[in-house]
Amino acid sequence: MPISSPIARHQVREEIQRRILSGESRPGERLTQQSLAKELGVAQGTVRESLLELQWLGLVESIDRLGVFVGKLDAARLCEAYQVREFLEGLAARLACDHASRADLARLRSTAEQVWNLSQQHDEEEMGVADRGFHLQIMNLSRNTVLTRLAEGYRVLGMAVRASRDPHEIYEEHLAIVEAIEKNLPEEAERLARRHVNRTRKAIEEQAAKHEFTPKWVADSKQQ
């Protein structure tokens, strides 16, 4: 049975996104509304809306008179996303100072610990999930819905990043951001959050310069 919209649109978007991030759908592959609608049991309009959302996120691109294709995600595009992320997450950390409760701060510290522990277990996939969760918590603590919505695009792109950074440095940076928020130091919280994101961007740029950067799902698909 066809699933209903708007739930349908969300489910279709998540499924197409999953295929792209897992490598099941490869860069340059054409995505046809008719075949996807038939396969997923939804109207073509639902697929069209889902593809528009994915285009906004940077995962697909539309070419006039040719159709919609899985986007090519390279280091340059990711670094562009990280340039935007640096400013948005800095603002989120600043705003979080006005809203974070003791319980919120405890959850942030717990998530930072989880990221560290998973790094010691060499569980990169779950560590990435936990790391994104840490940043999402701060974004939500900003209580700014426009900011949260703008951040959605680069969060999805971040799912393709596996930058080589010292896990202990990441752990220390996470804790420093939490401490600044706890002490209600908005300028310091913003500075630390921006520096944290900036260092990851530079790590990606360094990998790209050495021709060592590969989007996560491309690497994973080779192992399947």
Q: Which two tokens stand for residue 213?
A: 């950067």
Beta sheet of 30-31, edge-to-edge order: 30-31, 67-70, 60-63
Q: Does domain 7-70 have CATH number 3.40.50.1110?
A: no
- Does the pLDDT at position 4 exceed 50? no
Burial grade of 195 (CB within 10 A; 0-12, 13-18, 19 or more): middle
Q: Over 80: is that where the pLDDT of 47 sits?
A: yes
Q: How confident is the model at residue 37 (pLDDT cuts 50, 70, 90)?
A: very high
The 10 Å Cβ neighbour count of residue 108 is 24
Q: How many CB atoms lie within 10 A of CB 208?
A: 16
Q: Are 8 and 42 in contact (CB under 8 A)?
A: yes
Tell me the per-residue pLDDT of 50-61, one tens digit each, with 9 for 90 and over: 999 898 878 899
Least confident of 20-24, 28-32, 143-147, 206-210: 20-24
| Equal CATH topology for 7-70 and 75-222 | no
pLDDT tens column, 177-199:
999 999 999 999 999 999 999 99
What CATH number has the domain spanning 75-222?
A: 1.20.120.530
Range from 65-79, 97-111, 112-126, 152-166 that averages highest in pLDDT: 97-111
Phi, psi of 84 (to 5 degrees): -70, -45
* Structural domain boundaries in the chain: 7-70, 75-222
In 84-158, DSSP assigns E strands to none
What's the rounded Cα separation, in Å, for the pair 166 and 169? 5
At residue 6, the pLDDT reads: 62
Select the more confidently predicted residue: 3 or 115: 115
Report, as an integer, the average pLDDT of 196-204. 92
Provide the pLDDT confidence category of residue 100 given band limits of 50, 70 and 90: very high
